[in-house]
Amino acid sequence: MLDETLTPEELAVVAKARAFAAEHVAPHAARWEWERHYPYETVKHACAAGLNTIELAKQHGGQGLRFSCKLRAFEEIAKADFAFAFALINHHNACARFARDGKPAHVARLLPRMLTGEVIGCAGLSEPGVGSDFGGLEMTAERVEGGWKLNGAKAWITNAAVAGLSVAYAQTDKSQGYRGIACFAIEAERPGFHRDKPFELHGGHAIGVGGFRLVDYIALDEALLHPPGAAFKAALAGINGARAYVAAMCCGMLQASLETAVRYTQRRKTFGRPVIDHQGVRWKLVDAATQLEAARLLTYRAARLIDEGKDAVLPAAYAKKFATDMAVQRIADCIQAMGANGLRAEYPLARHLAGAKIAAYTDGSIEMMNERIGTALPQVFG
């Protein structure tokens, strides 16, 4: 398994993530959900523990560790709560991207505040009318003296409820299609930034999902992270990693659900014997355990290829498709094995089921994975 390839330093980070989740996330995740609460203080606590700097280069104050280490750390956190894990990893990614692509003076001014969690980061891809069709962005960026004037809206943005910096994409010339897209570091403290009310969902409120609008927002030249012609490629460069770590989070949620269901069905008795001894229940859990193993093999293979700098497009798509699809089904099976008690708030399974359904949309829906894999069928099997 993947842990066998990690260094002692990386294994220590995974262990720290596991301990942090057990102490600071698992005991509070249900309350965050019921109260529709974004756990800002816990995110800051995770930053103090260095869980937002795993992949950040050492020259910027990070740990400079491999993608596989980050993936495993957040798989452990997702065992406690997908929403928190997803919020934190998006902040982690924003820190790394801004540090890598930002202008030195701009980075020096803002990155220290991001590392402590004072400023939370987010991505700015999706829009009210644009989801998976990244090339169809409607937010505009017009060149003006000293910078760019941006207008438009973003929606379905993780951390939007509190984010102070967004790595956002806008169209500079619609006639150029995806080649006209540029990337900017958008600061919430600047004039023209308007934060929308966070979305009310049926799960995953710790993600802090929502949106923002830019009205004649001026992004100075220092805020241009990628010019037209380069931004689209830069955005796609990180998508394989995102698909792999979302798959890993699904594995984490199913692991936690299986552990809960197995413990419960060992204790609970019906017709004079433990529930787990009934074949109809036991075989459902066997199927879940088997598919968890398969999902991890697909996911860890994608992570290894990403670390090696090899082509991970299809492996990441396979992992994302399989892991998200099976997590929805198999977490539901774990709930079913526990009967009506599986829905009680004292157990995390219903929250994990909502998380798995959210995962089925993020960073490319299952349908998008089908299209990506389907496009490659003639090359792979033809």
User: What are the tens digits of pLDDT across the range 181-240?
Assistant: 999 999 999 999 999 999 988 899 999 999 999 999 999 999 999 999 898 888 888 899
pLDDT of residue 1: 80
pLDDT more than 90, % of the chain: 83
- What does the mean pLDDT of the chain come to? 94
The stretch 99-109 carries a mean pLDDT of 96
The stretch 314-325 carries a mean pLDDT of 97
Q: 3-state DSSP call for residue 188?
A: coil
Q: Which residues contact 196 (CB under 8 A, 6 or more apart)?
A: 153, 155, 160, 210, 211, 212, 213
Q: Which residues of 286-301 are buried (b: 16+ CB within 10 A; e: fewer)?
A: eebeebbeebbebbbb
- The strand pairing partners of 182, in sequence order, are 170
The stretch 54-72 carries a mean pLDDT of 97
Domains and CATH numbers, the chain: 2-120 (1.10.540.10), 122-228 (2.40.110.10), 238-381 (1.20.140.10)
- The strand pairing partners of 195, in sequence order, are 212
User: Do the beta carbons of residue 211 and residue 156 sit within 8 Å?
Assistant: yes
User: Do the beta carbons of residue 65 and residue 13 sit within 8 Å?
Assistant: yes
pLDDT tens-digit map of 249-282? 999 999 999 999 999 999 988 888 888 988 888 9
Query: Where are the extended beta strands (E) located within 254-296?
Result: 269-270, 273-274
pLDDT for residue 148 is more than 70: yes
Residue type, 20: F
pLDDT for residue 137 is more than 70: yes
pLDDT of residue 131: 64
Q: What are phi and psi of 165, to 5 degrees?
A: -140, 130
pLDDT of residue 291: 98
pLDDT confidence of 375, banded at 50, 70, 90? very high
CA distance 255 to 23: 18
The stretch 316-326 carries a mean pLDDT of 97
- The strand pairing partners of 187, in sequence order, are 165
pLDDT confidence of 38, banded at 50, 70, 90? very high
pLDDT for residue 130 is more than 80: no
Q: Please, what's the largest Cα pairwise distance for the chain?
A: 79
Q: Is the pTM of this model over 0.85?
A: yes
pLDDT confidence of 132, banded at 50, 70, 90? low
Q: Which residues contact 35 (CB under 8 A, 6 or more apart)?
A: 205
Count of CB atoms situated within 10 Å of the CB of 113: 13
pLDDT of residue 110: 97
CA distance 366 to 377: 16
pLDDT of residue 272: 84
pLDDT for residue 364 is more than 90: no
CA distance 149 to 211: 19
- The strand pairing partners of 214, in sequence order, are 152, 193
pLDDT of residue 133: 66
Among candidates 306, 291, 232, 267, which has minimal Cα distance to 71?
Answer: 306
Count of CB atoms situated within 10 Å of the CB of 147: 18
pLDDT confidence of 357, banded at 50, 70, 90? very high
pLDDT for residue 22 is more than 90: yes
**Residue recorded with tokens 């930034």:** 193
Q: 3-state DSSP call for residue 166?
A: strand
